[in-house]
Amino acid sequence: MAKAFKETLNSGKFVVTSEIGPPKGTNLEKLIHHIDLLKDKVDALNVTDNQSSVMRFPSLGTCLLIKERGGEPILQMTCRDRNRMALEADLLFAYTRGIKNVLCLTGDFITIGDHKEARAVFDLDSLQLLHMVRILQSGKDLGGNELDGAVEFCAGATVTPEANPIEPQLIKFEKKVQAGAEFFQTQAIYDLDNFKKFMKYVRGLDKNIKILAGIVLLASAGMAKYMNENTPGVFVPQVLIDEMATAEKGKRVQKGIEIAGRLIRQIKEEAICDGVHIMAIGREEVVPDILAAGGL
Amino acid sequence: MIVAERKPLEDIREMIAGYKKILIVGCGTCVTICWAGGEKEVAVLSSQLRLASKKDGNELEILEATIERQCEKELVEALKDKVQQVEAVLSMGCGAGVQPIAEIFPDMPVYPALNTTFVGMPEGEGVWVETCRACGDCFLDKTGGICPIVRCAKGLLNGPCGGTNNGKCEIDSEKDCAWTLIYRRLEQQGRLDAMRKYYPPRNFQAVIRPGKVETLPA
Amino acid sequence: MKAKGAFLPDIVAFCCAQSAYQAADTAGSMRITYPENIRVIRVPCAGRVDVLHILRAFEKGADGVLVLGCHEEACRHLSGNIRAKNRVQRVNTLLQEVGIDGKRVEMFTLAPNQGSRFARIANEVNERIKELGPSPVKSGA
């Protein structure tokens, strides 16, 4: 059995999480393979919730699978598809099945995905969701009613250290800290000098805030450029784009792994933050290689 | 004001297919201002429908009338003489205009020629933007007079999402991120504390739908 | 079907009194011919021509409509020609929606002394409308 993520967080060790994207459909072969591949190599596995607003096998169902196979899941929950009642009910169920970690997200907007005409719910925002977890934990629901049996979660949130403008993002970050977020997984980080500035601010705020730096695998120079232009809050420095461009075809992912490994090493060696969250975005296969390159 | 857009001609023609004599009713208030359903738009739509039916060899006679407000029953009643002469009514009012006509003339089929889009204001010539969701629980005191419920795509109450993109919204680079605007406005007024507060989930029953307000004149 | 040559289109030309109408006159005094089937309607300014005027012309059976105004920057009413240009564009869209070729309405600018330009525009448009054939809304045609 995997160690409870909360315990790992408080153990002082360098924390490593990764991410699994459920399939579109009921063929779980690949998903189970990825779970088995990663469950013992990382401290916890996030499961995305209809990632990028694309309908998929549910996060909750995948978390159950991870649990069954002896891994430690982090249930990602967005506010896009369910109202407060549905979110509460899902958390009650998750808790009874031993899922004890939840990542509270607002969620991408509906129109970027594959059900563009669907109603976007957003009954809550990420901060209200975080508060909701704490309210359920106190033995009540959002309607103020008593629960017969409460929940207990290690609840986390996200932050985008490269957001522009950064000030409103930091105000929201501080509100999440006040709401009792126990860990933060950041948007992709590539420029460690910028990230160090962000971490200096975080440490000034509260030394106990756990930050896991987001590591997104670069697959090509084109992808890096695309993210700079199209993904809000992601900034890949030119030197890394140039470095990716030097890799010949067929060796680009290898180059990406090398860069990710180098970032992880530096973060760990300089103790810049408390751990890393590795997102291979559809390339779960190479996560063990990234871990090896990062000396983990 | 209420903003609306005319439906595509093809959709309107499908609604009125088979009728030989119709009345098109314009509205002289909001939809006149937003160029969707005033006297002029009634005349243009009539002309288009006549051209289209002539082209297809169908007979179609159109009466036109534009009243001050379709959402007031007293004003709608004045249409009686014209309504009695036709087989169907095509309203160029907003949704709140179509329904009083349908209610006052219950025997008469009434069709909407517009899609009512939002409550908003003009931004420039021919451009209107949505500014109010009519949520019944105004939040503008906390946000420097900029509504995040309607101007943030996700209607967030506690600050921006991770999709803020250089002050624009991740889903439409033409649209401002409401929370960037709110941040700047509150900063300008020295009221950023309002943004640091936690706001609990919205009360979606602030207006019990369908809404009804009973009040007395001042 | 009638032979192409036999079709004589009805074309309505709204002519600004400050420019195009005088250009038509100039053409006449210079003995430059232009098609007789172009009906000239004198308007005080191209900006006076409304979307509805043009639509009504088509309702009454016109095969084509021309709006002729002053060159840009030369409008006596400052922006009448620009307004006319926008309205012609609007009518183009409205006609397309009905299923009538938007090319049946056109706008040109010219100066009062350009008699030969007036005739050239009239001839070219006449040929283009002949190519397009009779308006599809022409009742009993």
**Alpha carbon distance, N-terminus to C-terminus of chain A:** 20
For the stretch A26-58, what's the b/e string if a residue is b when 16 or more beta carbons lie within 10 angstroms of its beta carbon? eeeeebeebbeebbeebbbbbbbbbbebeebbb
Average pLDDT over chain A reads 96
DSSP class of residue A146 equals B
DSSP string, B149-177: HHHSTT--SSS--TT-BTTEETTEEEEE-
Predicted pLDDT at B4: 97
The verdict on residue C93 lying in a domain is yes
Q: What is the pLDDT of residues C78-136, one digit of tens each?
A: 999 999 999 999 999 999 999 999 999 999 999 999 999 999 999 999 999 999 999 99
Q: Which chains touch B (3 or more CB pairs under 8 A)?
A: A, C
pLDDT in tens, A38-76: 999 999 999 999 999 999 999 999 999 999 999 999 999
C-alpha B18: how far from chain center: 28
Residues of chain C above pLDDT 70, percent? 94
pLDDT exceeds cutoff 90 at A262: yes
For residues A123 and A125, what is the distance between their CA atoms, to the nearest angstrom? Answer: 7
Q: Which of C51, C52, C59 sits opposite B51 (nearest CB)?
A: C59
Q: How many domains does chain C have?
A: 1
Residues B95 and B150 placed together within one structural domain of the fold: no
pLDDT score, position B217: 83
**B203 touching A (Cβ < 8 Å):** no
Could you tell me if A230 and A156 are in contact, meaning their C-beta atoms sit under 8 angstroms apart? no
Give the residue numbers spanning the domain of B98.
Answer: 2-117
Residue A105: pLDDT above 50? yes
Whole-number pLDDT of residue A1: 61
> Would you say residue B50 lies in a domain?
yes
Tell me the domains of chain A and their CATH numbers: 5-159 (3.20.20.220)
User: Given B117, B147, B178, which residue is the final one in a domain?
Assistant: B117
pLDDT of residue C139: 54
Residue C5 has pLDDT above 80, yes or no: no
The reply to whether B54 falls in a domain is: yes
B18 contact A CB<8A: no
**C100 contacts chain B (CB < 8 A):** yes
Residue B44 lies in a domain: yes
Which of A109, A169, A232 shows the shortest C-beta gap to B154? A109
Residues B40 and B100 both lie in one domain: yes
Given a contact cutoff of 8 angstroms between Cβ atoms, the answer to whether C130 and C4 are in contact is: yes
Residues of chain B with pLDDT under 50: none
Which domain covers residue C110, as residue numbers? Answer: 33-131
Q: In what order do the strands lie in the sheet with B61-67?
A: B61-67, B21-27, B88-91, B110-112
Q: What is the pLDDT of residues A198-236, one digit of tens each?
A: 999 999 999 899 999 999 999 999 999 999 999 999 999
Give CA angle at A60 (A57, A61), nearest 5°: 55
Could you give the ipTM of this predicted complex?
0.93
| A186 contacts chain B (CB < 8 A) | no
B49 domain residue, yes or no? yes
Residues forming beta bridges with residue B122, ordered by sequence position: B128
Interface probe, candidates A53, A87, A106, chain B, greatest B C-beta count within 10 A: A106
B191 and B156 share one domain:
yes
- pLDDT confidence of residue C55: 98
State whether B106 and B62 are in the same domain: yes
Shortest distance, CA B14 to any CA of chain C (angstroms): 13
Domain count, chain B: 2
Q: What is the mean pLDDT of residues A127-139?
A: 98
Mean pLDDT of C9-34: 95
Q: Check: CB of residue A96 under 8 Å from CB of residue B128.
A: no
Structure confidence at residue C1 (pLDDT): 44
Q: Exposed/middle/buried for A204, CB within 10 Å: 0-12, 13-18, 19+?
A: exposed
Choose the mutation target among B142, B149, B154 for the interface with A, i.e. most A CBs under 10 Å.
Answer: B154
Is residue B217 domain-resident? no
pLDDT at residue number C140: 46
Q: Are residues B89 and B147 in the same domain?
A: no
DSSP designation for B122: E
3-class DSSP state of B120? strand
DSSP A19: E
The rounded distance, in Å, linking the Cα atoms of A53 and A108 is 6
Mutation pick from A109, A129, A141, A173 vs chain B, by most beta carbons of B within 10 Å, is A109
Chains B and C touch (3+ CB pairs under 8 A): yes
Nearest by CB to residue B52, choosing from C51, C98, C139, is C98
Does some domain include residue B59?
A: yes
Amino acid at A229: E
B20 and B88 both lie in a single domain? yes
- The Cα A172–Cα A100 span in angstroms is 24
Q: Where are the alpha helices (DSSP H) in chain B?
A: 9-16, 30-33, 39-55, 73-77, 80-83, 95-104, 148-151, 178-188, 193-196
* Contacts (Cβ under 8 Å, ≥6 apart) of A23: A30, A31, A56, A57
For chain B, the first-to-last Cα distance in angstroms comes to 22
User: Looking at residue C141, what is its pLDDT?
Assistant: 43
Whether omega before A237 lies within 30 degrees of 0, making that bond cis, reads: no
**Out of A79, A122, A232, whose CB is closest to B163?**
A232
Give the residue among C137, C141, C140, C139 at the shortest CA–CA distance from C58: C137
Q: Which two tokens stand for residue C113?
A: 């002394």
* Contact criterion met (CB < 8 Å) for B47 and C59: yes
Q: Which residue has the tokens 């999480």?
A: A17
| B71 belongs to a structural domain | yes
Q: What is the mean pLDDT of the segment spanning A168-177? A: 97
Q: Please check whether residues B97 and B137 belong to one and the same domain.
A: no
Q: CB contact, 8 Å: B109 with chain A? A: no
Domain harbouring B29, CATH code:
3.40.50.2300
Name every chain B residue with its beta carbon within 8 A of the beta carbon of C137: 51, 54-55
Helix or strand holding residue A14 (H, E): none
The per-residue pLDDT for C2 is: 46
> Are residues B167 and B110 part of one domain?
no
Residues B112 and B6 in one domain: yes
Q: What is the mean pLDDT of residues C44-60?
A: 97
Instruction: Classify burial at A189, counting beta carbons within 10 Å of its beta carbon; exposed 0-12, middle 13-18, buried 19 or more.
Output: buried
B101: closest CA among B82, B125, B127, B121?
Answer: B82
Q: Please give the DSSP secondary-structure letter assigned to residue B129.
A: E
List chain A residues with CB under 8 Å of B187: 167
Nearest to B55 among C52, C94, C98 (CB): C98
